Structure formats: structure tokens, C-alpha cells
A and B are shown apart, each in its own frame.
Chain A
Amino acid sequence: GDSVTQMEGPVTLSEEAFLTINCTYTATGYPSLFWYVQYPGEGLQLLLKATKADDKGSNKGFEATYRKETTSFHLEKGSVQVSDSAVYFCALSARTGANNLFFGTGTRLTVIP
């Protein structure tokens, strides 16, 4: 079945450090891929998405590239800020069949000044 495997956390970085959060997936067909973020006390927000192979999603300095050959969608940011502290979830949506999202376990990021 469809599933997402996400890098275990928590991750603690100093401000301006480089961030990578790994995400790999298993899916039949060609899913759409997403990164969601949950800031403290708030709901899940869509951070970025990619709908086909080699697409790059980007937003707020974050990027992720849909790699079909490695079934990966790793999240990266060149220079993190304290305000990036949150929980990040990788997710996929199958193109056909179920309309729901499959999420990873989430990675808690803490950025210290």
C-alpha cells in the first residue's frame, strides 16, 4: 500500500544552518507529494508540493524535488531561522483511488539563536 517514511527527529539546528529532512515514499502509480508544516498552536499548513517527477516545489526558502528514481522528496533549506521551528510532515496523495493523504510521522525542528 501507499506509505511515507520520514526522517526521525527531533532535529536541533543553529540559526543559519542548512536543513535537510529526508522523505521517501512507496506508492502505486504516480502520486502527488507534499510537505506540510505545523507551527506551535496552529493547524497543518501546506508548505510546498510537487505533482510529477522532477518537479521542484518551493516556498519560504524551502525546496523539495520529486525524485521518481529514488522515490524521494527531501525537504531542504539553505539557512534556517528561529521562526522555522515547527513539526514538518511529508505526505502523498495517490493519483487514483483514495482521495486521502498518507503522512509520515513528522519531524520536529528546533532552531536555536
Chain B
Amino acid sequence: EAGVTQFPSHSVIEKGQTVTLRCDPISGHDNLYWYRRVMGKEIKFLLHFVKESKQDESGMPNNRFLAERTGGTYSTLKVQPAELEDSGVYFCASSQAVNYGYTFGSGTRLTVV
């Protein structure tokens, strides 16, 4: 089966611009998670979708970040406007059921200059 796909793999944008990251989970996986690793630090949870609903968005850093999952399939994470501290690697993961086991994508490396 196809894995979790994320794109773009890399993005370099200027401060103040908007960027949209996309995640395609494994087909049939209702649970979709976003995580972020800021340079050299731990990977931190951002939010969790169950189908199209936000189950937990406690990790979203501020209102410049907007995540959607229309139709319960792929998800997008938009950063608007981007700030320097938003630079990092954004990971997406999906799972069949909660606590079942995650499959991660290869991540999107975002650089804000």
C-alpha cells in the first residue's frame, strides 16, 4: 500500500508570505496527525484529525496556523503569515485507529527567510 505522502518536500519562503503544506494519509486511515520539529529540538504534536473533525488541536502554536481536512481524506496545513520561528520540519502521520500505530510521512522542510 502507498505510504503517507507529504509535499512539498522542501519550501523556502520569505517572512510574511503564506505557505500550504499537504498530507495524503494512507487510504482508509481515519486518524491524521501533524507534528513539527524545530531545528534541534523535539518533535512536537500540533493536531489530530478524526476523519474531517479536529479531535485535538492543543499543540497549534497560534492562529497563524490553519489545518483542514475536507472530506476526511488529505489534509492541508497553512501558515499565514509565516514568521522566522516557523522554520522546521513538519511531519504528518496517519493511523487506522487511535493508539493503533502510526505511519509517518517523510516530512516537509520549511525555511522562512
Q: A89 and B43 in contact (CB under 8 A), knowing A43-B91, A44-B91, A99-B56? A: yes
A43–B99 CB distance below 8 A: no
Instruction: Place the interface of chain A in its size category.
Output: 20 to 34
| Complex interface: chain B residues within 8 A of A32 (CB) | 99
| Cβ-neighbour of B48 out of A4, A45, A100, A104 (below 8 A) | A100
Quick one: which of A73-113 are within 8 Å of B by CB?
A: 89, 91, 93, 98-106
Q: A103 and B42 in contact (CB under 8 A), knowing A41-B106, A43-B104? A: yes
| Complex interface: chain B residues within 8 A of A69 (CB) | none
Least CB separation from A49: chain B residue: B101
Residues of B participating in the A interface, judged by any CB pair closer than 8 Å: 3-4, 31, 33, 35, 37, 40-45, 48, 55-56, 58-59, 91, 93, 98-99, 101-102, 104-107
Residues of A participating in the B interface, judged by any CB pair closer than 8 Å: 4, 6, 32, 36, 41-46, 89, 91, 93, 98-106
A-B contact pairs, 9 of them (CB 8 A): A36-B104, A43-B3, A43-B4, A44-B91, A89-B43, A99-B98, A99-B99, A101-B102, A103-B43
